[in-house]
Amino acid sequence: MFDRPVVPRGYAWWYVDAISDCGAFGLTIIGFVGSVFSPFYKKSGRGDPLDHACLNVALYGPRGARWTMTERGRGQVERSRDELAIGPSAMRWERDKLVIDIEEQAIWLGCPVHPPVRGQVIVEPEMWSGQSFALDPARRHHWRSMAPRARVSVKMGRPEIAWSGSGYLDGNWGSEALEDGFADWQWSRAHLGKEAAVLYEGVRRDGSRFAAALRFDAAGQAREEELPLGAPLPPTRWLMGRRTRAERGHARVVRTWEDSPFYARSAVASRLFGHDVVAVHESLSLDRFRSPIVQWMLPYKMPRRP
Query: What's the number of CA atoms in the CB half-sphere (13 Å) around residue 162?
Result: 2
Chain segment 95-147, per-residue pLDDT in tens: 999 999 999 999 865 556 678 999 999 999 999 998 899 999 999 999 999 99
Question: Domain spans of the chain?
Answer: 11-305
Separation between Cα atoms, residue 209 and residue 222, nearest integer Å: 21
Chain segment 188-213, per-residue pLDDT in tens: 999 999 999 999 999 999 999 999 99
SS3 306: coil
Average pLDDT for the chain = 95
pLDDT at 115: 87
Chain segment 242-261, per-residue pLDDT in tens: 999 999 999 999 999 999 99
Q: At 227, phi and psi to the nearest 5? A: -65, 130
Which whole-number Å values give the CA distances from 176 to 93, 180, 200, 201, 300, in the listed order?
Answer: 28, 7, 20, 19, 25
Confidence of residue 64 (pLDDT cuts 50, 70, 90): confident
Chain segment 221-231, per-residue pLDDT in tens: 999 999 999 99
Separation between Cα atoms, residue 245 and residue 267, nearest integer Å: 14
pTM of the entire structure?
0.95
* SS3 of 176-207: CCHHHHEEEEEEEEEEECCEEEEEEEEEECCC
Is the confidence at residue 306, as pLDDT, over 80? no
SS3 40: helix
Is the confidence at residue 53, as pLDDT, over 80? yes
